[in-house]
Amino acid sequence: MPKALLLENLHPHARTILEDAGFDVTTRTGALDESELIDALDGVALLGIRSKTQVTADVVAHAPDLVAIGAFCIGTNQIDLRAAASLGIAAFNAPFSNTRSVVEIAIADIISLTRRLTVFDKEMHGGIWNKSATGAHEVRGRTLGIIGYGNIGTQLSVLAENLGMSVVFYDAAEKLALGNARRAATLDELLEVADVVTLHVDGRPGNAGFFGAPQIARMKPGSILLNLSRGFVVDPAAVRDAIVSGHLAGAAIDVFPEEPKRKGDPFESELRGLPNVILTPHTGGSTEEAQEAIGQFVAHKVRDYLATGSTTLSVNLPNVALDQPPGVHRLAYLHRNVPGVLANVNATLAEHGVNIEGQLLATRGELGYVVTDAGSPVEDALVDALAAQPEAIRVRLLS
């Protein structure tokens, strides 16, 4: 039985799906550091993680049995995707499954901060009755600035307009505006007009330190900042200074540059204890509904890859959508994308007397992926011959 290791308290559906597919599944609740992960991956074909586990180049180099990594979350910046691909390890994520959960917590944060509910709640729990409208506003008629107009940003845009907000967005790529949303030509243009600024950018290295003191200074006095994207995008010290000075009226932060690895570990941040600041433990996409959907989606993707070779929605390998016709013997050949590979593959098949029933080739940058269905059993000698090709990365006989 192939082994699967699932970390970080993934939804039970993931384990059930993989066990039903014939995997020997081990689960752990927390993340592992690099040395622990290397030891734990001995003999493991499939690794399932969330955002805390760092799958480095050194980790995959010490995991010769690893075939696929499932990131049960949106981001994949915790995985060295290039190193994994170079060793024939496919990676999959869940780019859409928790979109609604993130959007809903953003709406909740916007309303809570604009109405100063955090301040009222703290005072009431302290036995202070302070009925006042000072500093509390309706969100209707206010302007929401969305930085990053992807799956989350666009859905948030629609719901915010339904609340009566005006929406302006900024994205480095060309994006179609939904509803009455307006595209800002520059980031500064957005910051100058937005009453609420919310960040929904991805985890690419270029976004590190993207939003710091200069950007916060350009925001409107009394505005509100949300970061539900990546911890390294926003400078928390700059947020603290802006809250203390009164330049920002509030902030909601769900992600942090340094986060505890395990539930119950201590959390330290310069943002603790500040007025009208909502801190949540990276739970923007953590609803029971989202975690169930993610568990099913990613588990199905990695299961199908190991069983059929299908790489649909893989984030680091060429994408090939494949059915599994009956009565064929499938070879999956991941290789460096150089001229003549397909001719060499087919010549090798012919030398071993294998008739091709079907074949698909896809490329992605430096990588190529050929899946061949043979009409007769495939001998180990053929697999060895393909693996010996100079451009070969990984050869798998699937059936």
Point out the residues that are catalytic.
230, 259, 282
Identify the CA nearest to 99 among candidates 49, 54, 38, 155. Answer: 155
Give the dihedral sign, CA 333/336/342/346. Answer: negative
Identify the CA nearest to 382 among candidates 356, 353, 362. Answer: 353
Rg (CA), the chain: 25
> Which are the contacts of 151, defined by CB distance < 8 A and separation ≥ 6?
95, 96, 99
Matching residue, tokens 């390890």: 89
**Is the distance from CB of 5 to CB of 40 less than 8 angstroms?**
yes
Identify the CA nearest to 225 among candidates 140, 145, 135. Answer: 145
Return the bridge partners of 199, or none. 147, 227
Q: Tell me the CB-side half-sphere exposure of residue 229, using CA atoms within 13 A.
A: 28
Return the bridge partners of 167, or none. 144
